Amino acid sequence: MGVENLINETIHTWTEQRPDLDFTSMSLSLKLNSIVRAVSDEISRQLEDTGINLGEFDVLATLRRHGRGAQLTPKEIAASTFVTPSGLTSRLARLEKMGLISRHADPSDGRGALIKITQAGKRVADRGIEIVLATEDRYMNELSTQMKKGLDQSMTRLIRTLDVQQKPSDR
C-alpha cells in the first residue's frame, strides 16, 4: 500500500468510526510527516557517500554557513541544530576524528571549546548541501511557483504558532 493510500485509508476508517470529529488536520499532519520522513531518508542515504550521517551534516552545515573562519561553541551549534549539548558530543568527536572539524580552547571560557570546520569539512559540507538541495528540489519542483509560495506562507504561519506556544525555557 502506498503512502497516499495508507493516509487515505487511515482518515477514512477514523471518519467511519468517529464521524463526529474532523480529521482534516490529521490528514495534513500525516502528509507533512510522510514527506519530511521520505526526503530525510533519501538525503541520509545519499549522504552516506560522503562518509557522514544527517546529524553530522547538520553540524558541518552550521559551521559552513557561518562563513570563513567561524568558530562556534558546542552550545551555539546545539542550538542551531536542535540537539542538546550532550547529544552533540558524539557527533563532534566523530567529525573531529574524521578531520572535518577542529577544536580549540575558548579563550573566554577556560573549560569551553570553540569548533571550527576544516578544509576537508568544508568540502564535505559543500557536497552535502548540494545533495540536500537537489533532493528537496526534486520533490518541490512538482509544485508550481505559486503553489510553493502558498505552501511557504502556510508553513511560516504554522511555525510562528509553534514559536508563540513554546515556553521561554524551551528555547
Instruction: Write down the residue that cell numbers 502506498 correspond to.
Output: 2
Confidence tier at 108 by pLDDT (50, 70, 90): confident
Asked whether the whole model's pTM tops 0.95, one would answer no
Q: What is the mean pLDDT of residues 123-144?
A: 96
Residue 88 contacts residue 59 (beta carbons within 8 Å): yes
Confidence tier at 68 by pLDDT (50, 70, 90): confident
What single-letter DSSP state applies at residue 110? E
Confidence tier at 168 by pLDDT (50, 70, 90): low
Q: Which of 42, 9, 13, 7 is nearest to 28 (CA)?
A: 7
pLDDT, position 169: 53
- The count of C-alpha atoms lying within 13 angstroms of the C-alpha of 142, restricted to the half-sphere facing its C-beta, is 7
pLDDT, position 69: 82
Instruction: Write down the residue that cell numbers 573566554 correspond to.
Output: 108
DSSP alpha helix (H) spans, the chain: 3-17, 24-47, 54-65, 74-81, 85-97, 119-140, 145-165
Instruction: Write down the residue that cell numbers 487515505 correspond to.
Output: 8
Share of the chain above pLDDT 90, in %: 80
Q: Which domains does the chain have, with CATH numbers?
A: 50-165 (1.10.10.10)
Can you read off the three cell numbers belonging to residue 109? 571560557
Q: Reduced to 3 states, what is the DSSP secondary structure of residue 10?
A: helix
Does residue 171 surpass a pLDDT of 70?
A: no
